[in-house]
C-alpha cells in the first residue's frame, strides 16, 4: 500500500502519540486544572461519566468511530492499540445497546490499555466495578451490539462534544474527561503546576480566615454593570 493509500484508509496504523514523559507529568494534575489552563476547553460533556469515582486515566488517545449499536471496529482497535493507549470511542451517544462489557474490558485491562472513553453505553456494571479498570460511558444497557458495520480507526472523532485526534492527551478523573491537543500538551505543564500552587494557596488562606472574598469580585461586578463604578459589596 502506498503512503497516500495508507493515509486515506479507514484504518490508520501509525500516528504520533503524546510523549510518555508528558503523560506522566500530566497524570499528576486534576482534569479541572488542565481544562482551565487549556482555556476552559477540551472537557467532554458530562454525559460521559466514570463508572467508578476512583477511576483515573492519563494517556494518548487511540480513536475509534463506530456506527450506532455496532462494535466491530472496537474489536479491531483492541487488536491494534498499544499498552498505555486510551480507547476513545465515538459511539454517537447511542444508548439503545451496550458496545462493551466485562469480556472486552477484561481484555483491555490484560492488554495494558490506559482506559476506555465510550460515547455510548456499556453493560456488566457489577463485574466492571469489581474489575477496577477505568472506563467512562454515558450509561448502561443490557442489550448486546451487532458486529457487522464498518467504521474508522485513528481518524479525528467527536466524543462528548470534543474533537479528539489520535495521539492527543487524555486525562480523566471523578470530574470527567479532558482532552488536550498533542502539540499543545507539553506547553501546559508549567501553567498547570502554577495553577495548582495558586489554588492550594487560596484554599490555605480561606482555612486561615484570610481573603475570603475574591480580590477580583468587585471589579468583575462593575464590568458586568451590576455595581456602579464607585460601589463595592
- Choice among 63-67, 80-84, 148-152, 214-218 with the minimum mean pLDDT: 214-218
Cβ neighbours for 102, distance < 8 A, ≥ 6 positions apart: 123, 124, 127, 128, 131
What pTM was estimated for this model as a whole?
0.92
C-alpha cell belonging to residue 149 = 458495520
Model pLDDT, residue 233 = 86
Model pLDDT, residue 171 = 98
Q: With beta carbons less than 8 A apart as the criterion, state whether 204 and 86 touch.
A: no
Cα distance between residue 12 and residue 73, in whole Å: 12
Closest CA to 88 of 48, 129, 128: 48
Q: Name the DSSP letter for residue 40.
A: S
Cα distance between residue 29 and residue 172, in whole Å: 10
C-alpha cell belonging to residue 22 = 508528558
List, in order of start, the domains of the chain with CATH numbers. 3-186 (3.50.30.40), 191-223 (no CATH)
C-alpha cell belonging to residue 213 = 472574598
Residue pLDDT, tens place only, 20-70: 999 999 999 999 999 999 999 999 999 999 999 999 999 999 999 999 999
Kindly state the average pLDDT of the residues 129-147: 98
Share of the chain above pLDDT 90, in %: 91
CB burial string 23-52: b at 16+ within 10 A, e below? bebbeebbbbbbbbbbeeebbbeeebbbbe
Question: Is residue 182 within a helix (H) or strand (E), and if so which, with residue range?
Answer: helix 182-207
C-alpha cell belonging to residue 117 = 472513553
The chain-wide mean pLDDT, for the chain, equals 95
Rg of the Cα atoms in the chain: 20
Cα distance between residue 72 and residue 148, in whole Å: 6
Residue pLDDT, tens place only, 63-84: 999 999 999 999 999 999 999 9
Closest CA to 115 of 199, 200, 27: 27
Residue pLDDT, tens place only, 160-204: 999 999 999 999 999 999 999 999 999 999 999 999 999 999 999
Model pLDDT, residue 165 = 98
DSSP bridge pairs for 162: 159
Confidence tier at 7 by pLDDT (50, 70, 90): low
Closest CA to 160 of 74, 91, 73: 91
Amino acid at each position: 500500500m502506498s503512503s497516500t493509500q495508507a493515509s486515506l484508509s479507514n484504518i490508520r496504523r501509525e500516528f504520533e502519540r503524546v510523549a510518555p514523559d508528558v503523560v506522566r507529568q500530566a497524570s499528576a494534575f486534576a482534569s479541572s486544572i488542565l481544562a482551565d489552563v487549556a482555556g476552559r476547553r477540551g472537557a467532554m460533556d458530562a454525559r460521559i461519566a466514570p463508572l467508578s469515582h476512583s477511576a483515573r486515566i492519563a494517556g494518548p488517545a487511540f480513536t475509534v468511530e463506530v456506527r450506532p449499536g455496532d462494535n466491530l471496529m472496537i474489536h479491531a482497535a483492541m487488536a491494534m492499540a498499544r499498552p498505555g493507549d486510551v480507547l476513545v470511542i465515538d459511539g454517537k451517544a447511542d444508548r439503545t445497546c451496550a458496545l462493551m462489557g466485562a469480556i472486552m474490558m477484561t481484555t483491555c485491562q490484560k492488554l495494558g490499555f490506559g482506559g476506555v472513553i465510550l460515547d455510548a453505553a456499556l453493560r456488566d456494571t457489577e463485574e466492571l466495578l469489581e474489575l477496577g479498570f477505568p472506563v467512562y460511558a454515558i450509561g448502561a444497557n443490557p442489550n448486546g451490539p451487532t458486529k457487522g458495520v464498518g467504521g474508522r480507526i485513528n481518524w479525528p472523532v467527536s466524543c462528548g462534544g470534543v474533537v479528539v485526534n489520535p495521539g492527543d492527551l487524555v486525562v480523566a478523573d471523578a470530574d470527567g474527561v479532558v482532552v488536550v491537543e498533542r502539540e499543545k500538551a507539553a506547553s501546559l505543564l508549567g501553567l498547570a503546576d502554577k495553577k495548582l500552587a495558586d489554588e492550594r494557596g487560596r484554599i490555605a488562606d480561606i482555612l486561615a480566615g484570610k481573603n475570603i472574598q475574591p480580590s477580583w469580585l468587585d471589579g468583575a461586578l462593575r464590568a458586568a454593570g451590576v455595581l456602579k463604578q464607585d460601589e463595592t459589596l
